[in-house]
Amino acid sequence: MRLLLVEDEKYMAEAVAQVLKKNNYTVDLAYNGEDGLDCGLSGIYDIIILDIMLPKMDGISVLKELRENGIATPVILLTARGAIEDKVNGLDSGADDYLAKPFHTDELLARLRALGRRKTEPLINDGILKVGDIEFNPHTFQLKCGSYETTLTLKESQLLELLIKRNGMIVSKENIIEKLWGYDTDAEENRVEIHVSLLRKKLASVDSRVCIRTVRGAGYALKTAKESYKAEKGY
Ligand code: CA
């Protein structure tokens, strides 16, 4: 599990990170809201631990921005003890849990385990996968967006299903090869690129705003929000 901890009190952040690492989490640190947002937008984290009081950009704004960009990574907010509005605001903005500071690391570890267990598949409705403006039926391979509809090939369907289920997180080319051709295969990475390109065309053909983001050197991720983190970051 890869965690992002966004906390400006460096001494505390490093102490918490050490405990997390001892418990087999991979931890990246960000010391202000802007850096936290940049890291969070990569979509590579399993859980983000986000302090509310941060320099450059507060935690609630970071959280809102992440959600607006389609990043569904579970977020634990760190609030000041007793700050009820923070909790309400935080949960309204899409936080999954909160923890009042100061906290014992055992409590944080328990919350992380709980969130890890709660691995959600909220997109699934009667077997239909819904994300952004599309509906996809993995049994019939039908892809719908508004009044447009198209049928995917088996490989395109497997690829889209994988991307949707990863909920905006990066899927590596290796993962895609395993999913589409199995472990025991000599399929090469350029075949992944071909199917990604075909699926992109299908998404465009139904006029969807959902797109497949290329994350250089890492893989692909589904992006649902309209505007362009893409353009800013040069993806
Ligand atoms: Ca702080």
Predicted pLDDT at 63: 95
Neighbour-count burial of 48, counting CB atoms closer than 10 A to its CB (0-12 exposed, 13-18 middle, 19+ buried): buried
Distance 87 CA to ligand 1 centre (A): 15
Residue 177 to residues 79, 136, 137, Cα–Cα distance (Å): 42, 21, 21
β-pair type (75-80, 47-51): parallel
Q: State residue 234's pLDDT score.
A: 42
**Centre of ligand 1 from the C-alpha of residue 73, in Å:** 21
Residue 169 Cα, ligand 1 centroid: separation in angstroms? 27
CA of 70 to the centre of ligand 1 (A): 25
Q: Quote the pLDDT of residue 118.
A: 59
Name the residues around ion ligand 1, CB cutoff 5 A: 8, 51, 53
Ligand 1: distance of its center to the CA of 157 in Å?
44
Distance 60 CA to ligand 1 centre (A): 12
Mean pLDDT by 10 residues, the chain (235 residues): 93 95 92 95 85 95 90 88 74 85 91 73 65 89 94 94 82 83 74 94 94 90 63 43
Domains present along the chain, CATH in parentheses? 2-123 (3.40.50.2300), 127-233 (1.10.10.10)
Model pTM? 0.55
Helical spans, DSSP H, in the chain: 10-22, 33-41, 59-68, 84-92, 105-117, 154-165, 173-181, 189-205, 229-233
Residue 228 is predicted with a pLDDT of 41
Ligand 1 geometric centre to CA of 4 (Å)? 15
pLDDT at residue 126 in the model: 67
